[in-house]
Structure 1
C-alpha cells in the first residue's frame, strides 16, 4: 500500500495465531460481482489479489475502483507519476483476471472525506451492482504502524458510499440519471487486525498475487528495503491459512449488510 510515506515493509505483520483461530470460511458461494474500493494503485496487491484471482477464476466479475492515481507516491511530478502507476495497476489487474479498472481523479495524499467522495463511490456501486464490496483497513494503526491518511479516508468512504447506494433519498440525482439503488450483501475489510472470515486460495492464486505486486515495478524500486514479493505474499497468505485451517488464505473482517450467504 502506497503513498505519502507509508510502505508495506511491515505488511507481514498480523494478529497472532491464537487470536485468529476462530475464522469462518467466507460464504461467497453464488457471488457474481465484487467491487474493490481502495485509495491507490498497489493497495490490493498485498494478498487481497489472491482472493481476486480465486474469484475471477470461477467466473466472478471483479471491478477495481481506485480513488486516486497514486501520483504522490513516488518522486516526481504527480502528473507524470500518476499515469505510470495507472499503467502498472493495469498490468497487475491482468495477472488476476480483472478487466474493469476505474481510477478517479481525487488528489493522492489529500483524499478528502465528504459527500463528493461518497457520491463517486455510490455511483460505481450502482453501476457495478456487486454482491460484495472489498476495501482495506481504515484503522488509525494498521500494517505494523500508523495507517496512511488516504487509506483511512478510503475505507470509511467505501462503507458510507456502499450504504448510500442503497438509499433512495441520498444522492437522488443518481436515480434520476438512470442508476436505481442497489443493495450490497456484504462489506469486506482486508488487512483488518481482527478478521472474522477467510477465503482459502490455491497455489495458482498465490502466484498470481505475487505477480500482481511485482507488476508495480517502478513503485517497488522507489520503496527502500521493500521485501521481495515472492517471500512477502506467501508469508501473509500462510498466516491467513493458519487462521482458517488451510495452507493459504486471505482474511477479511466481514460486515453482513443483509443477505450474506443467502
Structure 2
C-alpha cells in the first residue's frame, strides 16, 4: 500500500462495515501516527430484526464509536441516509464530497461497490451505492463547479495542483474487492481488529448463536490468513487501489 500520506477518510454504509476485515489495517496506520476518520452513510437502524429502528440506530451508533476508538479513530460522523434504501445519486455524492472537503484526506477508503463479492455472493444495494458514490465524490470534491454550494458553505475544493502534488485525494482504496491490488500486513493490528468487531456485540448476538469472541476471532483470522495467501503468506488486509 502507498504509505506517503498523513490523513485518511473511510466512507461506508453501515456500522460494522469497516470492522469486517479492514480494522487491522486502520489500527496499524493510527499506530504509525496517521489520522483516520470515519463517515457512515447510515446508523444501521434497519440492521437488527428484533429491534425497532428508533432504538437500534442510537445503539449501533454507540457501538460504532466504541469500535472506532479501539483502533485509534476518534472522529466518527453519520450522514443520516436511510438504512437499507440508500440511493446512489447527486445527494449522496454531495454529502460524501462535503466530507472529503472537510477532512482533506490523501487516502479515501470504502467498501466493495460491485454487484457481488466475487462469483455469486450478492452484495447489498447500500454497499454498492456508497462505494460507487465515494469513488465519484473523490473527483467531485476537487471540482468547484460541481456542488458549488459547498464552496459557498466554506468547504473549498480538495484537489491536487501541479505545484502541490500532495494536495487532494491521491488514492481510493476499496476493501472487500474480489480484485485486490495492494495489501497491508494485518499482524500488528489483528488483535485490536477482533476487539473492535466485538464492540458490535448487540449486532453479533442477533446474527449468530456462536460465542461473540469466538465468532469475531475465527472470522477475522480466517479472512486475514486467506487473503495473505495472495500476498506473501502473511495475514493481510487487501484493497483494490484506484490512483487519482
Establish whether TM, by shorter chain, passes 0.5: yes
Which of 27, 30, 37 does residue 2 from structure 2 map onto? Answer: 27
**Structure 1 residue matching 2:230: 3-state secondary structure:** helix
Question: Which runs of 5 or more structure 2 residues have no equivalent in the other structure?
Answer: 159-167
Please state how far the C-alpha of 1:46 moved relative to its aligned partner.
1.2
Two-structure CA RMSD over aligned residues (Å)? 1.4
Which of 179, 195, 206 does residue 190 from structure 2 map onto? Answer: 206
**What do the CA deviations read for 1:160-201 (whole angstroms, capped 9, x no partner)?**
111100112101111122111112000000000010111113
Which of 214, 223, 238 does residue 236 from structure 1 map onto? Answer: 223
Matches within 5 A, 1:160-199: 160-182=136-158, 183-199=168-184
User: In 2, Cα distance between the equivalents of 1:222 and 1:148?
Assistant: 19
**Structure 1 residue matching 2:229: 3-state secondary structure:** helix
Please state how far the C-alpha of 1:225 moved relative to its aligned partner.
5.6
Using CA pairs under 8 Å that are at least 6 residues apart, name the structure with larger relative contact order, 1 or 2: 1
Question: Which runs of 5 or more structure 1 residues have no equivalent in the other structure?
Answer: 1-25, 258-262
Q: Which runs of 4+ in 1 moved over 4 A?
A: none
If the length of structure 1 is used for normalisation, what is the TM-score? 0.85
Which of 33, 43, 57 does residue 82 from structure 1 map onto? Answer: 57
Q: What is the count of residue pairs matched by the alignment?
A: 230
If the length of structure 2 is used for normalisation, what is the TM-score? 0.91
Please state how far the C-alpha of 1:115 moved relative to its aligned partner.
1.1
User: In 1, Cα distance between the equivalents of 2:41 and 2:220?
Assistant: 24
**Structure 2 residue matching 1:41: 3-state secondary structure:** coil
Matches within 5 A, 1:1-262: 26-28=1-3, 30-75=4-49, 76-142=51-117, 145-182=121-158, 183-202=168-187, 204-224=188-208, 228-257=215-244
Change (3 A) 1:181 1:101: same
